[in-house]
Amino acid sequence: MSTAPSTRQRLLHAVLAFSVVVIVGYGSDILLPRHPAWMITDDLILGIAAAIVVFRYETERSRFLSEKLRVIRDMNSFVRNELQVLYACLDHPEKTRVPTIERSVERIDWALRELLPGGRLQSGAPVEEIGKRSRNAERPA
C-alpha cells in the first residue's frame, strides 16, 4: 500500500499543476488572435487544463481513500474473527481457555500494531490471509 504523499511531494505537484495551467494559458494567448470568438476558445482551453488537473487529483485521492477503507474493513473482519474465537473458548475447559484467550489477544495486539499503519505485512500478505492462517493454526491436527 502506498503511503500518503509528503508535504514536499504535494507542493511539487501543486507547482507542476500551476506551471501546466500557466503554460497552456499563456500559449493559447500567444497563438490565438484577440477576437471575441477566439477568447472563448482560449478560456475553454484553460478550463479543460484545470479540469484535467482536478480530475487527476480527485482520482488519486479516491484511490487512496479506497485503500484506507479496505484496510479498515480487513481489520474489522480480523478482529471480529478473533472475538468469535474468544467467545467460543468460553465453552472450553479452564485449562485450554487461558491459552486460547492469550493467543487471540496476542494476534489482535499484533494486528493493531503491525497491520493498521500499512495494511500489509513486510512480506506483502493481505490482512485476510493472516486471519485465515491464525484460524487454521488454532485447529487441532
Nearest partner of 49 among 72, 33, 78, 26, judged by Cα: 26
Domain membership of residue 2 (yes or no) is no
Q: Is the pTM of this model over 0.75?
A: no
pLDDT for 132 equals 52
Amino acid at the residue 108: I
Domain that holds residue 109: 7-138
CA–CA dist 127, 78 (Å, integer): 7
In this prediction, residues 24-53 reach a mean pLDDT of 78
Give how far the C-alpha of residue 66 lies from the chain's centroid of Cα atoms, to the nearest Å.
5
Domain membership of residue 125 (yes or no) is yes
- Yes or no: say if 48 and 42 are a contact pair by the CB < 8 Å rule: no
pLDDT tens sequence across 46-67? 888 888 888 888 998 899 899 8
Domain membership of residue 95 (yes or no) is yes
Domain membership of residue 98 (yes or no) is yes
Would you say residue 10 has pLDDT above 50? yes
Average pLDDT over the chain, rounded to an integer: 76
Domain membership of residue 45 (yes or no) is yes
Domain membership of residue 54 (yes or no) is yes
Number of domains, the chain = 1
User: Quick one: cell of 74?
Assistant: 480487513
Domain membership of residue 1 (yes or no) is no
